[in-house]
Amino acid sequence: MATSDPPMPMSAIDLHMHSTASDGRLAPAAVVERAAARGVELMALTDHDTLGGIAEAQAAARRQGIRCLAGIELSARWARGVVHIVGLDIDPSHPALAMGVTAQQAERRRRAARIGERLERAGMKGIAARATELVGEGVPGRAHFARALVADGVVRDMQSAFDRYLQRGRPGYAAVEWAGIEQVVDWIHAAGGVAVFAHPLRYRLSRGALRAAIQAFVTAGGTSIEVSNGGGGRDDLVAAAALARRFGLSASMGSDFHDPDFRWVEIGRLAPIPGDLTPVWTSMEGVA
């Protein structure tokens, strides 16, 4: 965020956050407790390619008296890269979605093994074991490898871990065959959910390539885009709102919270959605 931006207001709605079920630092129940303590009334847990945290989060939400939508953030193949599609208000037990998630997890497992091999070959002994230790029950993602590289003193912070080791073209990069955008949107719709094109300004795509990716999402039947996001500043919000108008998409808002130590992203710290856009939750049964 630029230093000239005004302080972010608190939002009672936050539809994008992570737990230890994927690469977040807090257990699902702790994420919900933090959300409730910060005044969030409607949230969604949206872990990467897993439904593993939802039951715990929803049980905690019942105790806290807030609403927690079942969600997921699916990685989707786009051209030679990846975009993230958030599914909101899904049925986590739907077999088509569950099978898709199983396939994505298998890809993650394959990739984790390759990242481990590549980093070990580059001299980082024991890094795979360290990443596995850090992840607990799930599959190590790039964030876990980044934390392992920081823990081993190889790099100073996660950003350097990505820049020097984990980004495409770096020694610890391994390609992944994610499902395509159309497939991912189909899984979300099969499970009764709403598909949201996540953090549109965070991909390293040209303006034309970004529009083409969103067009592919719209052609697949996707109906919403994340307009207000925890990481971006005012310019990103204005650009994302323009994309929502251009493609006739409803607007979502979510912090993408991962870690209490990342001070610049916090649950509920979100700019409001511009008044002319349709909020994504207005189409959801029993919400707002």
The verdict on 258 binding ligand AMP (CB under 6 A) reads yes
Counting residues that bind ligand AMP (by CB under 6 A) gives 10
Task: Pick what 142 binds: ligand AMP, Mn ion, none; C-beta below 5 to 8 Å, kind-dependent.
Answer: ligand AMP
Q: Is 159 in the site for ligand AMP (CB under 6 A)?
A: yes
Chain residues binding Mn ion by CB under 5 A are 23, 73, 84, 256
- DSSP secondary structure, the chain, as one string: --TTSPPPPB-SEE--B--TTTT-SS-HHHHHHHHHHTT-SEEEE--BT--TTHHHHHHHHHHHT-EEEEEEEEEEEETTEEEEEEEES--TT-HHHHHHHHHHHHHHHHHHHHHHHHHHHTT-TTHHHHHHHHHTTS---HHHHHHHHHHTTSSSSHHHHIIIIISTTSTT-----PPBHHHHHHHHHHTT-EEEE--GGGS---HHHHHHHHHHHHHTT--EEEEEESS--HHHHHHHHHHHHHHT-EEEEE--B--TT-TT--TTB-PPPPTTSPBGGGGSTT--
CB 63, CB 28: distance < 8 Å: no
**Nearest residue (CB) to ligand AMP, 169 versus 275:** 169
> Closest CB to ligand AMP belongs to which residue?
141
Site residues for ligand AMP, window 183-212 (CB under 6 A)?
none
**Residue from 11, 58, 75, 228 binding ligand AMP (CB under 6 A):** 75
Candidates 131, 154, 158, 201; binder of ligand AMP (CB under 6 A) is 158
Say whether residue 226 binds ligand AMP (CB under 6 A). Answer: no
Per partner kind, with CB cut-offs from 5 to 8 A, the member of ligand AMP, Mn ion, none near residue 189 is none
Q: Which is nearer to ligand AMP, 141 or 279 (CB)?
A: 141
Q: Is 87 in the site for ligand AMP (CB under 6 A)?
A: no
Using rule CB under 6 A, residue 71 touches ligand AMP: no
Least distance from Mn ion to the Cβ atom of residue 143, Å: 5
Nearer to Mn ion, 120 or 269 (CB): 269
Q: Which residues bind ligand AMP (CB under 6 A)?
A: 23, 48, 75, 141-143, 158-159, 162, 258
